[in-house]
Amino acid sequence: MGIDCNLRDQLTFYGSFHANKWNQLIHFVFVPVIFWSFLVWLAYTPELIAYDVYKHLPSGTPAWALTVARYLSFNGAFVITALYGTYYTVLDAFAGLSWSLCVGLPAWAGAVAFRTRVPNAWAWAILIHVLSWVMQILPGHIWAEKRRPALLTSFFQSVVLAPLFVWYELLFLLGYRPQLYADINARIQRNVAEYRAAQRPLLASGQ
């Protein structure tokens, strides 16, 4: 299953591999960390556009915005964040824009700040990245979900969808689009039931 712009299909695909609540909680914590640590590596790439956002902010700009603006470097971290945000916005305007502002922008600025201020930031990012994957796969998929990760079925799709799915979990918790949540949850439950049913003959034959 490749990348497309059908929101229900995308969320159903990813959600079918993350139906267990403990697995969802683990991914809620570590998916943003994986995305951020990847941006740290990309923060080492040269700037594509030499534009100092900080210097162009008007007087009276809040202190927090000034702090963020200091680290808005238009490098590879910006490109990936912009691509993710654009794709998410195509799928769902509110979810995509809110993710871009609440997750993408802070992750981009935070990655550049970490790369700028922390010695050997790339090495720390590797360690954090690897540990986050281990936490997702071992406790999340092997012990809780008891199903292989989605990336083994569609690597590119699962990597791109993960941050959005986690963001939707929060939005749904806050009451966003209840009918969409009910529809996707029903489709996920059907997919999981079909998967479990297909596994029973295999388990029986191995006994």
Answer yes or no: are the C-beta atoms of 41 and 112 closer than 8 Å: no
Number of H helices, E strands in the chain: 9, 0
Q: What is the pLDDT of residues 31-48, one digit of tens each?
A: 999 999 999 999 999 999
Q: What is the pLDDT of residues 60-89, one digit of tens each?
A: 999 999 999 999 999 999 999 999 999 999
Residue 148's pLDDT is 87
Binning pLDDT at 50, 70 and 90, where does residue 201 land? low
d(CA 9, CA 20): 19
Q: What is the pTM of this model?
A: 0.89
Residue 1's pLDDT is 42
Sequence ranges of the domains in the chain: 7-205
Residue 14's pLDDT is 92
Tell me how far CA of residue 158 lies from CA of 75, 130, 200, in angstroms: 24, 17, 26
Q: Give residue 73's region: left, alpha or beta (phi > 0; psi -120 to 50).
A: beta
Flag whether pLDDT at 124 surpasses 50.
yes
Answer yes or no: are the C-beta atoms of 105 and 97 closer than 8 Å: no
Q: Which of 147, 156, 158 is nearest to 192 (CA)?
A: 147
Binning pLDDT at 50, 70 and 90, where does residue 203 land? very low
